[in-house]
Amino acid sequence: MGMSAEYPDLKFVPPRAFGSGRDGKAVRYLVVHYTAGAERSTSAEDGAAYDQRRTDGTSCHYFVDSDSVVQCVRTTDRSNSAFGKGNRLGIHYEFCGTAQTRAQWLDLASRATIRNAARQMARDAHRYEIPIRRLSAAETRAAWYSFPAGPKGIVGHGDVTNAYPEDGGDHTDPGKDFPWDVLLADINEFLGSPTTSGGDMAPTQENFRILALLENTPTTGWSPPEKNGLHEALKRIEDKVAAPAPVTVDAAAVAAALAGNTAFLAAIAKAVADETARRQQA
C-alpha cells in the first residue's frame, strides 16, 4: 500500500474508476457521505480495497473510519461519487457507517470517525479556501450554475441530490440526524490549531505510535471506558510517553491486542488525538 503524494501521511489506494482532472470546473464544496456499511476500525481500508474491485464505476476521494483516513483519488481529480455536477465540484468523503440517530453519531466509534474526517476536511478547506458553513440546496445549485462565482461550503450527498433534481440522484446520506454542528465545530477547531509546515499533522501516525505503547500494558483490571477507565488509560499512556523508552510501531499488533473492543480503541485514538492537538496549541 502506497502513501498519498498529496498528503504524505495518508495511505493511498487508487480505485478502479475515477476522472482525470475536473473537466473545466474546480473544487467548490466538500461532500459528506456514509458508506451504508460497517464502522469497524478497518472499514476505511476495506472500502478502499472494495473500490479497486467493484465494476460499477463508483469511487470517492477518501474513506474515513474511527482510526484512519485512506485517500483514493487526488483532490485535483474527480471521484465518481455523485453524478457529473457533484463530481466536478466536490471533494467526497465516505464516512464508514450508516444512517444513525444523533446519539448514535456521537457514540465512541462514530465520534472518532467524525473527528478524523474533520481533520482532513480542515486541510482541504484551508487549501481550497472553503468557508466552514453548510450550503443549502439552492446554494449548492448556484455553485454549479453560477460557476465560478457561486458559493463555496460544505454539503451532504443528500444536498447534492436536492440541488440537481435533473440529475436523477436518490441518495440521502448522511441523513437527517447527522450532527452537522459537531462536524463544523471540529473542522473549525482544527483550522484554529497551529499546524506544522507542509500540512504534516500526522495525528493518525502519532495515535498509532502512542497506541503501540499499550502493547505491553496489561489491560486486565481496567475499567471499561464507560466507567472512567479511559482516564486511567490515558494517564498510563502519558507516563509511558514521558519515559525515555524505545517505541515499537506496530499498529497491526496493537489492533490485534485490542481486537473485539473497537469502541475502546476508538476512544483511545480520539483521546490521544485530542491530547496531541492540545499540546500543539500549548
Q: CB of 29 within 8 A of CB of 89?
A: yes
Q: CB of 112 within 8 A of CB of 265?
A: no
Residue of the chain from 157, 163, 169, 262 that contacts Zn ion (CB under 5 A): 157
User: Is 186 one of the binding residues for Zn ion (CB under 5 A)?
Assistant: no
User: Is 28 one of the binding residues for Zn ion (CB under 5 A)?
Assistant: no
User: Is 61 one of the binding residues for Zn ion (CB under 5 A)?
Assistant: no
If phi > 0 it is left, if psi is from -120 to 50 it is alpha, else beta; for residue 74 that is beta
DSSP symbol at 245: -
Stretch of residues binding Zn ion (CB under 5 A), selected from 2-10, 111-119, 135-143, 156-164: 156-164
Q: How far apart are CA 81 and CA 66, in angstroms?
A: 21
Residue of the chain from 130, 173, 268, 269 that contacts Zn ion (CB under 5 A): 173
Residue of the chain from 11, 25, 28, 33 that contacts Zn ion (CB under 5 A): 33
DSSP symbol at 94: E
Q: Binding residues for Zn ion, how many (CB under 5 A)?
A: 4
User: Is 39 one of the binding residues for Zn ion (CB under 5 A)?
Assistant: no
Q: For residue 147, what is its C-alpha cell?
A: 460557476
Min dist. Cβ of residue 172 to Zn ion (A): 9
Considering the complex, state which of residue 173 and residue 230 has its C-beta at the smaller distance from Zn ion: 173
Candidates 199, 172, 192; CA nearest to 33 is 172
Q: CB of 219 within 8 A of CB of 27?
A: no
Residue of the chain from 127, 171, 209, 236 that contacts Zn ion (CB under 5 A): 171
Q: Which residues bind Zn ion (CB under 5 A)?
A: 33, 157, 171, 173
